[in-house]
């Protein structure tokens, strides 16, 4: 994590490219254009510095004295100060002029990086709730905020991957999971996200649920058709129905296709999570079938 002393610095015209443009490729950088004679600048400075330091490295502040270094301010069209510009990935993306109260400065920064000063546990709970509510964008924003604090947090990595899966951006989910350190790939959140991604990638190959169901009804012994039906049902979020199809295979032929039905159930459980109602239902059905 960046030390608080490194979050606020002065810059010059010569150093602007490195201090702002290059640095904003890592996290957003605020540029505060000020001058020694400017009263509102002196009022703004301690407040914006306080809020930036509270971000704990998610954003940095660079201060530029326009009396000594007027060129950049002129290029950006600054006509009054204090003026604050937010740079992200080398480009100005937002800004404000004048001396704002702390609450508005905090809101300005939160638009760039997400909630400030939130407890990690509370932020994780909020992210998970958004995922359950199918708010992929909101969940992704909060999981990303957690990763800004701890880039190897398995709950946040798995959650962010699930948010991308929910949004249908499977390539991004795969890239996130590929960054997981080897020692954390066995974590339940990571294993669940991997299982969910595998299921999502399979979904594109499924046939129509109605066609598959008619195929099974025409030949109940066609275990492959029933297996495909279970996958298709899960892709349509009909989880308990998917469980029932796999249980039907187990009851007829437990060893079919190297226990494919049992293994698929376990993958469903990983993808759905241990406390999902369909997981609990499936485990009851599996136990009743295996130990009958």
Annotated active-site residue in 38, 62, 176, 189: 38
177 is an active site residue: no
Residue-wise DSSP of the chain? ---GGGSEEE--TTTHIIIIIIGGGTS-EEEEEE-TT-HHHHHHHHHHHHHHHHTTTSSEEEEEETTT--HHHHHTT--SSSEEEEEETTEEEEEEES---HHHHHHHHHHHHS-SS--HHHHHHHHHHHHHTT-HHHHHHHHHHHHHH-TT-HHHHHHHHHHHHHHT-HHHHHHHHHTS-GGGTTSHHHHHHHHHHHHHHHHTT---HHHHHHHHHH-TT-HHHHHHHHHHHHHTT-HHHHHHHHHHHHHH-TTHHHHHHHHHHHHHHHHH-TT-HHHHHHHHHHHHHHT-
Annotated active-site residue in 20, 30, 31, 41: 41
38 is an active site residue: yes
- Using CA atoms, how far apart are residues 245 and 229, in angstroms rounded to an integer? 7
Name the residues annotated as catalytic. 38, 41
């Amino acid at each position: 994590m960046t030390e608080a002393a490194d979050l606020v610095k002065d810059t010059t015209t010569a150093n602007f490219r490195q201090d702002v443009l290059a640095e904003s490729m890592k996290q957003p950088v605020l540029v505060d254009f000020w001058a020694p004679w400017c009263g509102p600048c002196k009022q703004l400075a301690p407040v914006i510095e306080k809020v930036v330091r509270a971000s704990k490295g998610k954003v940095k502040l660079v201060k530029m004295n326009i009396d000594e270094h007027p060129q950049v301010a002129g290029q950006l069209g600054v006509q009054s100060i204090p003026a604050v510009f937010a740079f992200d990935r080398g480009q100005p993306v937002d800004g404000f002029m004048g001396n704002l109260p702390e609450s508005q400065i905090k809101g300005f920064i939160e638009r760039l990086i997400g909630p400030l000063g939130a407890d990690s546990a509370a932020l994780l709970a909020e992210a998970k709730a958004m995922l359950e509510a199918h708010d992929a964008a909101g969940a992704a924003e909060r999981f990303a905020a957690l990763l800004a604090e701890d880039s190897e947090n398995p709950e946040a990595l798995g959650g962010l991957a699930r948010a991308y899966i929910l949004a249908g951006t499977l390539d991004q989910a795969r890239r996130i999971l590929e960054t997981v350190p080897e020692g954390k790939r066995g974590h339940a959140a990571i294993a669940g996200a991997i299982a969910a991604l595998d299921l999502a990638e399979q979904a594109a190959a499924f046939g129509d649920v109605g066609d598959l169901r008619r195929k099974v009804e025409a030949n109940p012994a066609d275990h492959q058709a029933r297996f495909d039906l279970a996958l298709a049902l899960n892709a349509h979020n009909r989880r308990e129905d998917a469980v029932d199809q796999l249980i039907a295979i187990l009851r007829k032929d437990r060893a079919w296709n190297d226990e494919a039905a049992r293994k698929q159930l376990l993958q469903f459980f990983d993808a759905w999570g241990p406390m999902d109602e369909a997981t609990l239902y499936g485990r009851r059905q599996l136990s009743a079938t295996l130990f009958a």
